Structure 1
Amino acid sequence: MTTIPSQLRGAIIRVDPNSVILPAGVGDSELTELRSSRETVERLSVAAADLPLLRGQLPEGLTRLNVRGPEVTEPRWPERFWLCDDLSVSLQGVAADTISHLADLGRTVIRLYLYDSPDLTTGSLEPLTRCPELYDLTLSGGVPDTVSLEPLTRCPKLLSLTLSGGVPDAVLDSLSGCPGLKFLTLGDRQRPAETALTAAGVSRLVKSCRQLWWLYLHCTADTGQAVLTALKEADLGRDRDGEPRTIRLFVPGELCRQLKSQEGRWVKVWEWKY
């Protein structure tokens, strides 16, 4: 990791031949230098206030963009989808309205990681509907029960969603019927007891999202047991071939060993190793 000086001004940090950190308050000289290396920069970190300046200016070879808030000292680079030239973005310690700039960058955003954004609102998620190729979204730190995730149900390519931290039932209910969702990760790996979901809320969501097949769950043993029981008792419907729909429930090692013997015909328990 590369530490960013708190008052960095007037100099580009080149982390390695393919990675660049732009100073806060980026000027014409930095943008000129960035344009001169358009094909070689694959990772770029930029201050949130300067993001609008990069509209149409992103290096052609860029695959990972980190947008950092004023208190960030180390960029958290987004993961890159293997053999894909589209853009993965991490928003780190920024105001939630920073999301609104993503659709205007002139690049196809396929993955988005939102870290440490306490002012998240339903309205701040609305611009994601203008990112038609977005397929993978992570919301870290918990989503308040006052925030509706309904805009995500209008993201046509959204395939995978991770909600870490507390996950109130009201948040899960707002995702009802998300059309293309196949992978759902719920809970906090470090603090499973703070995963504020209920078995009833999870069951309702699974039943309403007809394409959901993989459910990854970090929670207490009691909640995991309740979720498994609720899914076994639920009418999960049928797949596109008319066969009974099967849900794969992934839980960490010890919980997996507790639940494996209780799995049902249409609810299979797998160990979550990563």
Structure 2
Amino acid sequence: MVPWTDDAAARLTADGKRLEYRCWGPEPEKAPTLVLLHEGLGSVALWRDVPERLVKATGFGVVAYSRAGYGASEPAVLPRPITYQTHEGTVVLAEVLDALGIETCVLMGHSDGATMAAIYAGSVSDMRVRGLVLIAPHFFTEESGIQSIVNTGGLYETQNLREKLAKYHADVDNAFWGWHDAWTNTDFADWNVADVIDHWRIPCLAIQGDDDPYGTLAQIEEIATRIYSPFETRILPNCGHAPHLEWPVETDAAIADFCARLERLEREPVAFG
């Protein structure tokens, strides 16, 4: 088991790769843990001040790690297969939780990371996972979202996006093209993992901006249609793909309220939704 530390040099091994991670707040044996899974171009550093905010808002411990190819983690093998989110959300995440000694947790993912959290909850029987916080999740492809990724590829090649991302990724081309080329692969058009929702048996909070260029509210509606467990949503107005950065006060409050009720649920029946 690796140490619970905020040392930027900390590394753990999962799926044969050395991955950077950082921890904030109480250790797993002292409080529940929020496990943060980043977006398709994210990393530990790109969560910015979110971990510290969540420790303060919830009293939980918080841990974030960078998947292979991102941040200071080892590069990923490219091209990524179109099933990469399922692999990350089952094989890799399971090893990360074990390495960190997680005891009770809420999986909190953004974009690709939300999809991976959703896949884990619907594919792996793990009593440590008590809830899901999904920010801008993807369960199936949408033409508008794919076009936004194509457009982002243009910005990477012709504008200063590569320079900006290079501040956060040791191998920026590995990070960017691994994400871009998987999503724009023609075989990805039929990708759909919505059936994992059918197997959730834990409460879920979904947070989405109503002006997200990468996914529409159809993704949230898919959850509402299929879920059997307690479910609530926060749809934020005039908000794009990153509610936790664009609407931090509202997002933190929703997550804190959700986590508080999860803790009460461990002790007594409470109403969700």
Question: TM-score, with normalisation over the residues of structure 1?
Answer: 0.37
| Higher CA-based Rg | 1
Question: TM-score, with normalisation over the residues of structure 2?
Answer: 0.37
Kindly indicate whether structure 1 or structure 2 has the higher relative contact order, using CA contacts under 8 Å at least 6 residues apart. Answer: 2
